[in-house]
Amino acid sequence: MSTLTRVALVTGAAQGIGRAISLRLAKDGFNVAVSDLPRSRSQLESLTQEIKGKGRQSTWVLADVTSEPDVKSLVEKVAGDLGSLDVFVANAGVCKAQSFLDTSVDDWENIFKVNGRGAFLSYKYAAQQMVAQGKGGRIIGASSVAGKRGEPFLAAYSASKFAVRGLTQAAALELGQYGITVNAYAPGAIDTPMLEGISSIAGTKDEFYAHEAKNTVLNRVGHVDDIAGLVSYLASPDASWVTGKEVPCSPDDLFTNTNTTFQVNR
Ligand code: NAD
Protein backbone atom coordinates (compact mmCIF):
# COMPACT_ATOMS: atom_id res chain seq x y z
CA MET A 1 0.00 0.00 0.00
CA SER A 2 1.02 3.63 -0.53
CA THR A 3 3.09 5.43 2.11
CA LEU A 4 0.84 8.51 1.73
CA THR A 5 -1.81 9.02 4.42
CA ARG A 6 -4.33 6.29 3.79
CA VAL A 7 -8.06 6.93 3.59
CA ALA A 8 -10.70 4.92 5.43
CA LEU A 9 -14.47 5.09 4.95
CA VAL A 10 -16.88 3.86 7.63
CA THR A 11 -20.62 3.35 7.08
CA GLY A 12 -23.12 3.44 9.95
CA ALA A 13 -20.62 5.80 11.59
CA ALA A 14 -23.01 8.10 13.45
CA GLN A 15 -23.14 6.04 16.63
CA GLY A 16 -22.11 2.83 18.34
CA ILE A 17 -19.41 0.62 16.85
CA GLY A 18 -19.04 2.66 13.63
CA ARG A 19 -18.34 5.86 15.52
CA ALA A 20 -15.69 4.15 17.67
CA ILE A 21 -14.04 2.61 14.59
CA SER A 22 -13.92 6.02 12.87
CA LEU A 23 -12.18 7.63 15.85
CA ARG A 24 -9.76 4.71 16.26
CA LEU A 25 -8.73 4.77 12.58
CA ALA A 26 -8.17 8.55 12.85
CA LYS A 27 -5.97 7.90 15.91
CA ASP A 28 -4.10 5.28 13.84
CA GLY A 29 -3.27 7.95 11.25
CA PHE A 30 -5.97 7.50 8.61
CA ASN A 31 -7.89 10.31 6.99
CA VAL A 32 -11.46 9.18 7.68
CA ALA A 33 -14.73 9.65 5.78
CA VAL A 34 -17.89 8.90 7.74
CA SER A 35 -21.30 8.02 6.36
CA ASP A 36 -24.79 7.26 7.63
CA LEU A 37 -28.46 7.88 6.87
CA PRO A 38 -29.76 11.49 6.46
CA ARG A 39 -31.35 11.39 9.95
CA SER A 40 -27.79 11.29 11.40
CA ARG A 41 -26.45 14.42 9.74
CA SER A 42 -25.64 16.34 12.94
CA GLN A 43 -23.83 13.36 14.52
CA LEU A 44 -21.73 12.99 11.36
CA GLU A 45 -20.91 16.71 11.33
CA SER A 46 -19.66 16.62 14.93
CA LEU A 47 -17.76 13.34 14.37
CA THR A 48 -15.99 14.92 11.40
CA GLN A 49 -14.97 17.86 13.59
CA GLU A 50 -13.66 15.45 16.23
CA ILE A 51 -11.57 13.62 13.62
CA LYS A 52 -10.19 16.90 12.26
CA GLY A 53 -9.29 17.80 15.85
CA LYS A 54 -6.94 14.80 15.79
CA GLY A 55 -5.09 16.40 12.85
CA ARG A 56 -6.67 14.21 10.14
CA GLN A 57 -8.68 15.09 7.09
CA SER A 58 -12.31 14.08 7.27
CA THR A 59 -15.54 14.38 5.35
CA TRP A 60 -19.10 13.18 5.89
CA VAL A 61 -21.50 11.82 3.28
CA LEU A 62 -25.18 10.96 3.70
CA ALA A 63 -25.88 7.60 2.07
CA ASP A 64 -28.27 4.69 2.44
CA VAL A 65 -26.26 1.49 1.97
CA THR A 66 -29.29 -0.26 0.47
CA SER A 67 -29.29 2.19 -2.47
CA GLU A 68 -26.94 1.35 -5.33
CA PRO A 69 -26.69 4.97 -6.58
CA ASP A 70 -25.97 6.15 -3.00
CA VAL A 71 -23.15 3.64 -2.45
CA LYS A 72 -21.65 4.31 -5.88
CA SER A 73 -21.59 8.07 -5.36
CA LEU A 74 -20.40 7.64 -1.73
CA VAL A 75 -17.27 5.85 -2.95
CA GLU A 76 -16.71 8.35 -5.78
CA LYS A 77 -17.12 11.34 -3.47
CA VAL A 78 -14.76 10.01 -0.79
CA ALA A 79 -12.07 9.02 -3.31
CA GLY A 80 -12.48 12.43 -4.98
CA ASP A 81 -12.48 14.54 -1.79
CA LEU A 82 -9.78 12.65 0.15
CA GLY A 83 -7.77 11.40 -2.84
CA SER A 84 -8.06 7.63 -2.33
CA LEU A 85 -10.01 4.80 -0.76
CA ASP A 86 -7.78 2.31 1.07
CA VAL A 87 -10.03 0.85 3.78
CA PHE A 88 -13.81 0.42 3.57
CA VAL A 89 -15.56 -0.59 6.78
CA ALA A 90 -19.07 -1.82 5.87
CA ASN A 91 -20.41 -1.40 9.38
CA ALA A 92 -24.03 -0.25 8.82
CA GLY A 93 -26.55 -2.77 10.08
CA VAL A 94 -29.95 -3.26 11.68
CA CYS A 95 -31.32 -5.78 14.14
CA LYS A 96 -34.75 -6.79 15.36
CA ALA A 97 -35.18 -9.36 18.10
CA GLN A 98 -38.35 -11.42 18.01
CA SER A 99 -39.44 -15.01 18.10
CA PHE A 100 -39.09 -16.99 14.90
CA LEU A 101 -42.86 -17.64 14.92
CA ASP A 102 -43.57 -13.90 14.90
CA THR A 103 -41.04 -12.94 12.19
CA SER A 104 -42.84 -11.50 9.16
CA VAL A 105 -41.69 -11.45 5.56
CA ASP A 106 -41.32 -7.66 5.88
CA ASP A 107 -39.05 -8.07 8.91
CA TRP A 108 -36.95 -10.62 7.04
CA GLU A 109 -36.65 -8.42 3.95
CA ASN A 110 -35.88 -5.22 5.88
CA ILE A 111 -33.06 -6.91 7.76
CA PHE A 112 -31.64 -8.54 4.64
CA LYS A 113 -31.89 -5.28 2.72
CA VAL A 114 -29.50 -3.48 5.06
CA ASN A 115 -27.29 -6.30 6.34
CA GLY A 116 -27.10 -8.39 3.15
CA ARG A 117 -27.67 -6.13 0.16
CA GLY A 118 -25.98 -3.19 1.95
CA ALA A 119 -22.84 -5.24 2.57
CA PHE A 120 -22.85 -6.54 -1.01
CA LEU A 121 -23.09 -3.03 -2.51
CA SER A 122 -20.46 -1.70 -0.11
CA TYR A 123 -17.99 -4.50 -0.87
CA LYS A 124 -18.64 -4.26 -4.62
CA TYR A 125 -18.11 -0.51 -5.07
CA ALA A 126 -15.21 -0.44 -2.60
CA ALA A 127 -13.54 -3.24 -4.57
CA GLN A 128 -14.11 -1.54 -7.93
CA GLN A 129 -12.45 1.63 -6.62
CA MET A 130 -9.54 -0.27 -5.08
CA VAL A 131 -8.93 -2.34 -8.23
CA ALA A 132 -8.93 0.86 -10.32
CA GLN A 133 -6.44 2.48 -7.92
CA GLY A 134 -4.14 -0.53 -8.32
CA LYS A 135 -2.60 -0.43 -4.82
CA GLY A 136 -4.59 -3.05 -2.94
CA GLY A 137 -6.88 -2.25 -0.04
CA ARG A 138 -8.85 -3.55 2.91
CA ILE A 139 -12.55 -4.33 2.96
CA ILE A 140 -13.91 -5.04 6.44
CA GLY A 141 -17.51 -6.07 7.11
CA ALA A 142 -19.72 -6.42 10.15
CA SER A 143 -20.77 -9.98 10.83
CA SER A 144 -21.64 -11.19 14.35
CA VAL A 145 -21.40 -14.21 16.61
CA ALA A 146 -24.95 -14.63 15.29
CA GLY A 147 -23.32 -15.03 11.86
CA LYS A 148 -21.27 -17.97 13.05
CA ARG A 149 -23.93 -19.71 15.16
CA GLY A 150 -27.70 -19.32 14.88
CA GLU A 151 -29.10 -17.30 17.77
CA PRO A 152 -32.60 -17.72 19.21
CA PHE A 153 -34.92 -14.73 18.70
CA LEU A 154 -32.63 -13.45 15.95
CA ALA A 155 -33.50 -15.76 13.04
CA ALA A 156 -33.51 -13.11 10.30
CA TYR A 157 -30.57 -11.23 11.81
CA SER A 158 -28.52 -14.44 12.21
CA ALA A 159 -29.24 -15.49 8.64
CA SER A 160 -28.26 -12.03 7.33
CA LYS A 161 -24.95 -12.15 9.23
CA PHE A 162 -24.26 -15.66 7.87
CA ALA A 163 -24.71 -13.97 4.47
CA VAL A 164 -22.00 -11.44 5.35
CA ARG A 165 -19.73 -14.34 6.21
CA GLY A 166 -20.28 -16.03 2.82
CA LEU A 167 -19.87 -12.73 0.99
CA THR A 168 -16.62 -12.04 2.86
CA GLN A 169 -15.13 -15.43 1.99
CA ALA A 170 -16.18 -15.30 -1.68
CA ALA A 171 -14.97 -11.72 -2.17
CA ALA A 172 -11.65 -12.54 -0.48
CA LEU A 173 -11.12 -15.41 -2.92
CA GLU A 174 -11.67 -13.16 -5.96
CA LEU A 175 -9.96 -10.00 -4.74
CA GLY A 176 -6.72 -11.46 -3.38
CA GLN A 177 -5.16 -11.19 -6.85
CA TYR A 178 -5.50 -7.38 -6.56
CA GLY A 179 -3.88 -7.21 -3.13
CA ILE A 180 -7.25 -6.55 -1.50
CA THR A 181 -8.02 -8.37 1.74
CA VAL A 182 -11.61 -8.95 2.84
CA ASN A 183 -12.41 -9.76 6.46
CA ALA A 184 -15.25 -9.28 8.92
CA TYR A 185 -15.53 -8.71 12.65
CA ALA A 186 -17.96 -10.95 14.51
CA PRO A 187 -18.85 -9.29 17.82
CA GLY A 188 -20.90 -10.68 20.65
CA ALA A 189 -23.08 -8.31 22.68
CA ILE A 190 -21.59 -4.79 22.54
CA ASP A 191 -23.08 -1.88 24.47
CA THR A 192 -24.56 0.32 21.70
CA PRO A 193 -27.95 1.79 20.81
CA MET A 194 -28.59 -1.41 18.81
CA LEU A 195 -28.11 -3.67 21.83
CA GLU A 196 -30.17 -1.36 24.00
CA GLY A 197 -32.88 -1.37 21.33
CA ILE A 198 -33.33 -5.14 21.48
CA SER A 199 -33.06 -5.35 25.28
CA SER A 200 -36.83 -5.03 25.75
CA ILE A 201 -37.17 -8.61 24.53
CA ALA A 202 -35.99 -9.78 27.96
CA GLY A 203 -37.52 -7.25 30.32
CA THR A 204 -35.41 -4.30 31.46
CA LYS A 205 -32.12 -3.18 29.95
CA ASP A 206 -30.29 -4.17 33.14
CA GLU A 207 -31.79 -7.67 33.11
CA PHE A 208 -30.89 -8.16 29.47
CA TYR A 209 -27.33 -6.88 29.88
CA ALA A 210 -26.84 -9.11 32.96
CA HIS A 211 -28.08 -12.06 30.93
CA GLU A 212 -25.73 -11.25 28.05
CA ALA A 213 -22.77 -10.75 30.41
CA LYS A 214 -23.39 -14.18 31.92
CA ASN A 215 -23.01 -15.68 28.45
CA THR A 216 -19.40 -14.51 28.22
CA VAL A 217 -16.45 -16.00 30.04
CA LEU A 218 -15.34 -12.47 30.92
CA ASN A 219 -18.71 -11.77 32.52
CA ARG A 220 -19.29 -8.41 30.86
CA VAL A 221 -20.95 -6.95 27.80
CA GLY A 222 -18.43 -5.63 25.27
CA HIS A 223 -17.43 -1.99 24.77
CA VAL A 224 -17.31 -0.36 21.32
CA ASP A 225 -13.53 0.08 21.70
CA ASP A 226 -13.18 -3.72 21.94
CA ILE A 227 -14.32 -3.86 18.30
CA ALA A 228 -12.49 -0.71 17.18
CA GLY A 229 -9.24 -2.30 18.33
CA LEU A 230 -9.87 -5.38 16.21
CA VAL A 231 -10.72 -3.29 13.15
CA SER A 232 -7.59 -1.22 13.76
CA TYR A 233 -5.58 -4.43 13.48
CA LEU A 234 -7.43 -5.65 10.35
CA ALA A 235 -6.70 -2.29 8.67
CA SER A 236 -3.04 -2.29 9.71
CA PRO A 237 0.04 -3.56 7.85
CA ASP A 238 0.26 -6.34 10.47
CA ALA A 239 -2.88 -7.94 8.97
CA SER A 240 -1.62 -8.04 5.38
CA TRP A 241 -1.64 -11.88 5.42
CA VAL A 242 -5.14 -12.17 6.85
CA THR A 243 -8.07 -12.54 4.46
CA GLY A 244 -11.43 -14.30 4.19
CA LYS A 245 -11.78 -14.41 7.96
CA GLU A 246 -14.66 -13.56 10.30
CA VAL A 247 -12.80 -12.74 13.45
CA PRO A 248 -14.78 -13.47 16.61
CA CYS A 249 -14.67 -10.59 19.00
CA SER A 250 -16.56 -12.01 21.91
CA PRO A 251 -15.72 -14.33 24.76
CA ASP A 252 -19.13 -16.03 24.33
CA ASP A 253 -17.77 -17.72 21.20
CA LEU A 254 -16.33 -20.32 23.59
CA PHE A 255 -19.76 -21.55 24.60
CA THR A 256 -21.53 -24.07 22.41
CA ASN A 257 -24.95 -23.31 23.88
CA THR A 258 -26.28 -19.85 24.59
CA ASN A 259 -28.20 -19.56 27.84
CA THR A 260 -31.65 -18.42 26.77
CA THR A 261 -33.51 -18.94 29.98
CA PHE A 262 -35.06 -15.46 30.03
CA GLN A 263 -38.76 -15.07 29.47
CA VAL A 264 -39.26 -13.48 26.06
CA ASN A 265 -41.71 -10.61 25.72
CA ARG A 266 -44.01 -11.11 22.73
P1 NAD B 1 -26.22 0.87 15.94
O2 NAD B 1 -27.65 0.61 15.66
O3 NAD B 1 -25.86 1.49 17.23
O4 NAD B 1 -25.57 1.71 14.74
C5 NAD B 1 -25.80 1.29 13.41
C6 NAD B 1 -25.69 2.48 12.49
O7 NAD B 1 -26.02 2.02 11.16
C8 NAD B 1 -26.68 3.61 12.83
O9 NAD B 1 -26.00 4.84 12.93
C10 NAD B 1 -27.67 3.58 11.68
O11 NAD B 1 -28.20 4.86 11.35
C12 NAD B 1 -26.83 3.02 10.54
N13 NAD B 1 -27.65 2.44 9.48
C14 NAD B 1 -28.75 1.65 9.63
N15 NAD B 1 -29.30 1.40 8.43
C16 NAD B 1 -28.53 2.06 7.51
C17 NAD B 1 -28.58 2.19 6.10
N18 NAD B 1 -29.57 1.62 5.37
N19 NAD B 1 -27.64 2.94 5.47
C20 NAD B 1 -26.66 3.55 6.19
N21 NAD B 1 -26.56 3.47 7.53
C22 NAD B 1 -27.48 2.72 8.18
O23 NAD B 1 -25.47 -0.55 15.78
P24 NAD B 1 -24.07 -1.08 16.38
O25 NAD B 1 -24.38 -1.89 17.56
O26 NAD B 1 -23.08 0.02 16.44
O27 NAD B 1 -23.69 -2.13 15.21
C28 NAD B 1 -22.80 -1.84 14.15
C29 NAD B 1 -22.64 -3.11 13.32
O30 NAD B 1 -22.14 -4.16 14.17
C31 NAD B 1 -23.96 -3.61 12.75
O32 NAD B 1 -23.74 -4.15 11.47
C33 NAD B 1 -24.37 -4.69 13.73
O34 NAD B 1 -25.23 -5.64 13.14
C35 NAD B 1 -23.04 -5.27 14.12
N36 NAD B 1 -23.04 -5.96 15.40
C37 NAD B 1 -23.41 -5.31 16.55
C38 NAD B 1 -23.42 -6.01 17.76
C39 NAD B 1 -23.82 -5.38 19.07
O40 NAD B 1 -23.99 -6.10 20.06
N41 NAD B 1 -23.97 -4.06 19.15
C42 NAD B 1 -23.06 -7.37 17.78
C43 NAD B 1 -22.70 -7.99 16.59
C44 NAD B 1 -22.69 -7.28 15.41
Per-residue pLDDT 10s for the chain (266 aa) are: 444 899 999 999 999 999 999 999 999 999 999 999 999 999 999 999 999 999 999 999 999 999 999 999 999 999 999 999 999 999 999 999 999 999 999 999 999 999 999 999 999 999 999 999 999 999 999 999 999 999 999 999 999 999 999 999 999 999 999 999 999 999 999 999 999 999 988 788 999 999 889 888 889 999 999 999 999 999 999 999 999 999 988 766 555 555 554 455 44
Residue 95 φ then ψ, to 5° = -145, 140
Q: What's the CA-to-centroid distance between 61 and ligand 1, angstroms? A: 17
Residue 60 φ then ψ, to 5° = -120, 145
Q: What's the CA-to-centroid distance between 193 and ligand 1, angstroms? A: 8
Secondary structure element (H or E) that encloses residue 145, with its range? none
Q: Is the CB of 116 under 6 A from ligand 1?
A: no
Q: Which atom of ligand 1 is nearest to the CA of 118?
A: 18
Q: Is the CB of 70 under 6 A from ligand 1?
A: no
Q: What's the CA-to-centroid distance between 189 and ligand 1, angstroms? A: 12
Q: Is the CB of 89 under 6 A from ligand 1?
A: no
Q: What's the CA-to-centroid distance between 101 and ligand 1, angstroms? A: 24
Q: Is the CB of 11 under 6 A from ligand 1?
A: yes
Q: What's the CA-to-centroid distance between 12 and ligand 1, angstroms? A: 6
- Hey, which bits of the chain come out as E strands? 7-10, 31-36, 58-62, 87-90, 137-142, 180-187, 246-249
Q: Which atom of ligand 1 is nearest to the CA of 39?
A: 11
For a substitution probing ligand 1, which of 10, 17, 64, 161 has the most ligand atoms within 8 Å of its CB? Answer: 17
Q: Which atom of ligand 1 is nearest to the CA of 13?
A: 9
Q: Is the CB of 17 under 6 A from ligand 1?
A: yes
Q: Which fold has domain 7-190+222-249?
A: Rossmann fold (3.40.50)
Q: Is the CB of 66 under 6 A from ligand 1?
A: yes
Domain boundaries, the chain: 7-190+222-249
CB-based contacts of 78-82 (< 8 A; 24+ apart in sequence): 78/7, 78/9, 78/33, 79/7, 79/129, 79/133, 81/33, 82/7, 82/31, 82/33, 82/57
